[in-house]
A and B are shown apart, each in its own frame.
Chain A
Amino acid sequence: MRRKPFLKPLACTVLFLALGLGGSISSLYGEEWPSKPIQIVVGYSAGGTSDLVTRGLAEPLKKILKVPVVVENKPGGASLIASGYLAKAKPDGYTLGQVAGNSITERPFFMQVPFDPVKAFSFICQVFDYGAGFVVKSDAPWKTFPEFVEAAKKQPGKLSVSMSGPGSYLQVGIAKLERKVPGLKLKVVPFKGGVDAVTALLGGHVDSCFQSQEWRPFVESGKLRLLAIGGRERLKDYPQVPTWLDLGYGVFAEAPGAYAAPAGLPGNIRDKLEQAFKAAMGDPKFKATMKSLSLVEVYKPGKELYEDLMKMYEENKTTIPQLGITEQ
């Protein structure tokens, strides 16, 4: 009878399993945080600005926290999928994520979000703002934003503005502006990404574009003209361009880029993380990255950020349904 050589494969399998068990047992022993790599989940694909900011932070964070800091991309659903993943993760300080402020303040009113906007996250801090600029082509007849508004009022519903959608803070911003300025009615043409929205403007298919920062290289090269900023503060590179608040419209559109952990994160770990992030933001290489990405660096401690977000959330709860943009 032929002896079936099964001992070797059997031994291999047993060895295999034993190694695995051993590996998992060692991680059961609790050690002081941080004792293993930290993961930061980003809701956009690698190479995008959100991703690059995070990677820019990861380097100095690694030096400060003395553990590897790994960026993981989970693109999709305008970062909602990643946020949903984060909300369900263990609040042990090893899984963090980048959360866009408007996932909390705007999107829940447009679509189902895979987390509770009020309770899901423990915010570490805000690091940047996506910004919002209103641009037109440089050969357009409107040299200032009020000029554009006047022209639009004369032909309601005729001038078009492109932006990325749906349910974006940009859309809400424009709608709020229309509400505040009587007689202003713009044709909103949504696109699947900021780049497409800006390209449409470049090609002359729309009259204007309201977008986060994809217009930068074109304003710099003179192809597009920046008329106004939707955020609360002017941009350092374009100090002469007014904000909507400066112009007296009483609305603003901002999109904080923040980092958070799942709710339930122990307070001392959260504080340590906040300090680490703050220090990382001071890293010169990070500052250079931010400059090249044309993002607005804004530091806001987690508690303050959360309060601001909740304020806007409550406000939007009543305002957004009134804007009439949730249904087409």
Chain B
Amino acid sequence: MTAAPAGTPPLLAVESVDVTLGRGWRANQVLSGVDLDVWPGEIVGLVGETGSGKTTLARTVVGLVNPKRGRILIEGLPISALRRGARRAERRRGHVQLVFQDPLRSLDPDLTVAEIVAEGLTIRGQTDRDEIRRRVTGALEQVGLDATVLERTPGQISGGQRQRVSIARALAVEPRLLICDEPVSALDASTRNYVLRLLDQLRTSLGLAIVIISHDLSSLAGIADRVVVLYRGRIIEDGPVDRVFTTPRHPYTALLMASAPSIRQHGVRNDRPFSPRQLRRTDSDPAPPAGPGACVFAARCPFAAGVCAVQPPLTAVGERWSVACHRHEEWAALAQSARLGRTDPCPLSSSG
């Protein structure tokens, strides 16, 4: 796994966590052997497709879902082992806060902004009204909102303002870790950039650790330090964002990047190493190994071979960079050479 920066312990440690949702015949293993460390002042991007377990991982970290196996430690405290009163007390401390995708649905429409932001403080036992008022305006100031929004309800402010209110609500209780579940996917491009910039400033000014779940790779590239790629409940790649995004070591990460829409502009190099077509299975590819123990990506992987009948472990391939692929050293060359002939008959401009 990734090596710790000298001396400091991770703020969040997820240790070989398995999560199963549902019981009996409905039981569905959503996360398998997930290991993840997040340090203070770090922004980690969590990417993956629908159903890959991103949201379940977020819910497990805040204690809304119990892992079947493994531990969650926050500042060294194993919160996944806490039960009942101790769990509630830990949650009230508010060291970990969630920010949801759709503020219109996650904020109470009947409460004013002031009440929404104050709620966490009251739950934590803060009773001094002046102190609450001071903290609420302070939190709103941190996200660039002034007192004019205090008495409005979520329905009376714009989408970008609403998402900033959700962040202010989380900040009011002075968290150490912020987990944002698709915080910008409902926003227009300009507002999206504003919110991402805000998160970037907050991690510097408050030393927050931030986990951002997103499917928008290029906006993550703008602010994240590390990127973690989930596929069907397993981490398949985890590494520094600039390294992973320039030379992805897992074919799925490469496919995600090749598929991400982008604009051809003057002065910006936009040539991706691969086109999506070079990274997709075709009917002429040999049948991938199947079975319960096989690599989770094998069924979609054009490079799957006999070795892929066994799920590969996360293996270090660089400093704080690991990948779960048996063929991580070979596939890129295969994609470049043998499959060069398979070009797109009507290429999208992505490879241009």
The yes or no verdict on A and B being binding partners is no
Binding site for B on A (CB under 8 A): none
Binding site for A on B (CB under 8 A): none
